[in-house]
A and B are shown apart, each in its own frame.
Chain A
Amino acid sequence: MNPAVTKPLENTYSALHLNKIKVDECSTMRIRSVEAIPVARPDSTMQFRSDSLERREKALVEKERKLEALAESLKERSQKLESLEGTKAIEKMPERSDMDELRQKVREDLLRQFQPELEALQTQLEVKEAELEEARLRTRMLETGELIEQPVDQEELARVTEEIFQELRSQVDSPPMLKDTGLIMTKIPKLDEVMGGGIPQGHTILFNGAPGTMKSTFTYAILYKAALNDKTKGLYLSLEQSRRSITRQMEKMGMPLAATEGRLVVADLKGMRESMSEDQGTWRDVLLHYVQKMQRETEFKIFVLDSLESFKALTEHGFNRQDLKDLFDWFKSLGITVLVVSENISDEWDEANQGEVYLSDGIMELLMHEMNDSRVQRWMRCVKMRGMNTDPRYYSVFHDGKEFNLSLPLSNQPF
């Protein structure tokens, strides 16, 4: 039975691909597995829905029973009334027409008394029935695997869609004007060559690495050199260390802040909070306002954010890829070059990334490389630099107390 059922399906499939030389086993399996997609998806939601449906059905049955009881009592009352009227008739023997009149009057009274209640119950019943029908419909849709969306304002949707199409039409008609942006030379020996010439202005570059790989020092060095050599202004914002601790650390590395003559500004959370004491809103908003304000005041060209993980932690809600896209777009709109320090190491890219490795224009990876049992070197690699012909090799990084030095590592030679 079974082979007879599956066979024709396979035959049709291979008939469609007569010129196919190598029948792909996976794809045939795939076709069958698609056929086998179960339509019903019994899960907790379904269970919940059927439970609530049962509850509603019970409530309705209860209502119906009450209504019947009500009708019953009405009938009883009118019977009592009739018998009462009968006795009255014997006592007083009123005119037949009078009795009719009386009966009519009582009936009307009763009706008046119970009419609103009856009507209310009737409407309730109708509403419940409509709800039940809708719930049945939803259950059916869930069973057949169709998704239910919140109703969308169709008019608004049509209007926005037209807007989108209009804007896209202009994209088709006119290619963007490409301004040739310059390069920021880091002047760190070898580094510019590795990156294919320097950092293209306006790019957002990720500096990825485990703790201790000198991410902060590296990005600081780029700012420092640019401030010294090209008189380029920069802002270093640390969400991890205090301003004092950073400046002291960098002074030890031969990069005293004073030498930049104010072209390099180092800020920390405390300083930011003091400067923005008037500002309302979430931490993230305050931070962005601060960056904007500083940009207006000092017109810095390079911005270091240390670190992306701390920035994400500052946001109260979950930080997803679209939030990140908005942030990177915002950097672009400021027209600044941004160096983002991140501890997202490359082994975890597949698992935990929130898109920064794809959203960024470039990635510099810093790592510790264990040469043998005792020797560990700092290594660096340019993973990505959009539009640049980069040197993708690993370089070992040394800091001689004054400056970084990059060199090709001697591969695996015994020491």
Chain B
Amino acid sequence: MPKEILISGKVMEPRSAARSGGSTMEAGDSRLKTYIEGFDRILEGGIPQGHTVLVAGTPGTMKSSITYYMLYNHAMESKRTSVYVTLEQSRESLMRQMEKMGMNNEKVKDQLHVLDLGIIRKKLKEIAGGTSWLHVFKTYIANLKENLDFDMLVIDSMEVLETMAEIRNRRTDLFYFFEWLHDLGVTVFLISESSSERLIDGKFDEGYLSDGIITLKMQVVRDVEMQRRIRCVKMRETNHDPSYFSLLYNNGRFQVTRVISE
């Protein structure tokens, strides 16, 4: 049996040079802005490059939108290249959703690549199982890194990836997967469907494995009002404010404000 199809075998050798960052990185610019007004200040300027960050929340909390928004703004402002991998939602649906939120995909088509990797399962379904899926996935992303030299990678979502890769031994398999992500040398956003409470309870290994956790939720205020909340639970190498903030979306900009009253 060839070694490389084993889930725990590393498919790609770590490239020592890769950790230093992508081509568009400037000296001293070691943090990636979130472009959410007020939130970068909370993160001491942004997310440290090379971090693997979980973006977690229940349905409708704008996990995808906020992550796409970051990539979009980086493409617009600094021509940074990024890849958004969707495993379940079709790319047409995702991109249309972002258009409706006021982001013009046409303007960033050379920097922001949305890829529907759901096709891997469709094609592999007949002949191979989960470990082959993960192998093909990793090989493709590694190739893409060579060709596009992207700085940021989004995987939407972690839960679907686990189902498709048929991850059984979560503890070790996730450890190797995070190590592989780390070796890619890019900043990674993993979209997670776990609610923040469950992540913080420590039931999930990815909470420990990731360098940062940003959670999103809806909060009932005064019994009838609903407000969006954002919170940076964890961010390594950063002295961040761990409080909840109100998340607002107006005229194409995300913005946070301190929660005034409960």
> Which residues of A approach B to under 8 Å, CB–CB?
17, 19-22, 24, 26-27, 29-30, 33-34, 37, 145-154, 156-157, 160-161, 163-165, 167-168, 171-172, 175-176, 178, 181, 320-322, 325, 329, 332, 349-350, 355, 357-359, 361, 363, 381, 383-389, 392-394, 408-409, 411-412
A332, B59: Cα distance in complex, Å:
20
* 22 contacts across the A-B interface (CB closer than 8 A): A17-B237, A21-B237, A24-B234, A27-B208, A37-B171, A146-B8, A147-B6, A149-B129, A152-B127, A164-B120, A176-B92, A176-B95, A178-B92, A181-B96, A320-B163, A322-B164, A350-B194, A358-B193, A363-B59, A386-B93, A387-B100, A408-B224
Answer yes or no: B27 CB below 8 A from chain A CBs: no
Known contacts A178-B95, A363-B59: A325-B100 contact under CB 8 Å: no
List 14 additional contacts besides A355-B159, A358-B159, A387-B97; criterion CB under 8 Å.
Answer: A26-B234, A27-B208, A145-B169, A145-B172, A149-B5, A149-B131, A164-B140, A167-B119, A171-B91, A325-B118, A350-B198, A355-B88, A387-B100, A392-B226
A165 to B88, CA, bound (A): 18
Chain B nearest CB from A56 CB (Å) reads 21
Q: Which residues of B contact A355 (CB under 8 A)?
A: 88, 159-160
Q: Which residues from A are CB-within-8-Å of B222?
A: 411-412
B131 touches A383 (CB 8 A): no
Chain A residues within 8 Å of B157, by CB: 358
B117 contacts A by Cβ under 8 Å: yes
Report Cα–Cα, A363/B2, bound state, in Å: 45
Which stretch, B70-78, B107-115, B253-261, touches the partner chain A? B107-115
Set of chain B residues within 8 Å of A34, measured between Cβ atoms = 175
B132 interfacial by beta-carbon distance below 8 Å? yes
From B8, B101, B193, contact of A147 by CB (8 A): B8
Taking CB atoms, residues of chain B closer than 8 Å to A26 are: 202, 207-208, 234
B237–A19 touching, CB < 8 Å: yes
CB-CB under 8 A from A146, the residues of chain B are 6, 8-9
Residue of A nearest to B237 (CB): A20
Inside 8 A of A147's CB, which chain B residues have their CB? 6-8, 131, 168-169
On chain B, the residues within 8 Å of A22 by CB distance are 239
Known: A17-B236, A27-B208, A175-B109. A161 touches B139 (CB 8 A): yes
> Do the beta carbons of A24 and B236 come within 8 Å of each other?
yes
Q: How far is the CA of A152 from the CA of B125 in the complex (A)?
A: 12
Q: Does B116 contact A (CB under 8 A)?
A: yes
CA distance A174 to B129 in the complex (A): 29
Using known A-B contacts A37-B171, A350-B194, A387-B97, determine if residue A393 contacts B208 with beta carbons closer than 8 Å: no
Interchain CB contact under 8 A, B136 and A161: yes
Checking A149, A320, A322, A383 against B59 with a beta-carbon cut-off of 8 angstroms, the contacting residue is A383
Q: Which B residues fall within an 8 A CB radius of A?
A: 1-2, 5-9, 58-60, 88-93, 95-101, 105-106, 109, 113-121, 123-124, 127-129, 131-132, 136, 139-140, 143-144, 148, 157, 159-160, 163-164, 168-169, 171-172, 175, 193-195, 198, 202, 207-209, 218, 220, 222-226, 228, 234, 236-239, 249
Q: From the candidates A153, A168, A388, A389, name the one contacting B115 in the complex (CB within 8 A).
A: A168
- Once A151-B1, A152-B5, A178-B95 are accepted as A-B contacts, the answer to whether A393 and B236 lie under 8 Å apart by CB is no
Q: A157-B132, A168-B140 are in contact. Are A358 and B236 (CB under 8 A)?
A: no
Are A384 and B5 in contact (CB-based, < 8 A)? no
A409 to B222 CA separation, bound complex (whole angstroms): 11
Q: With a CB–CB cut-off of 8 A, which chain B residues contact A383?
A: 59-60, 218
CB–CB A392/B169 < 8 A: no
A321 / chain B contacts, CB cutoff of 8 Å:
160, 163
- Would A160 and B124 count as touching, CB distance under 8 A? yes
Shortest distance between the CB of B110 and any CB in chain A (Å): 10
Residues of B within 8 A of A145 (CB): 8, 169, 172
- In the complex formed, the residue of A with least CB distance to B128 is A152
B98 proximity list for chain A (CB < 8 A):
387
CB-based contact A361/B93 at 8 Å: yes
CA distance A105 to B87 in the complex (A): 77
How far, in whole Å, are A154 and B236 apart by their CA atoms in the complex? 41
Chain A neighbourhood of B59, CB < 8 A: 349, 357-358, 363, 383-384
Query: B90 — which chain A residues lie within 8 A by C-beta?
Result: 329, 332
Residue numbers in A under 8 Å from B163 (CB-CB): 320-322
CB neighbours of A178 from chain B (8 A)? 92, 95-96, 99, 105
CA–CA, A411 and B117, complex, Å: 46
A146 to B157, CA, bound (A): 25
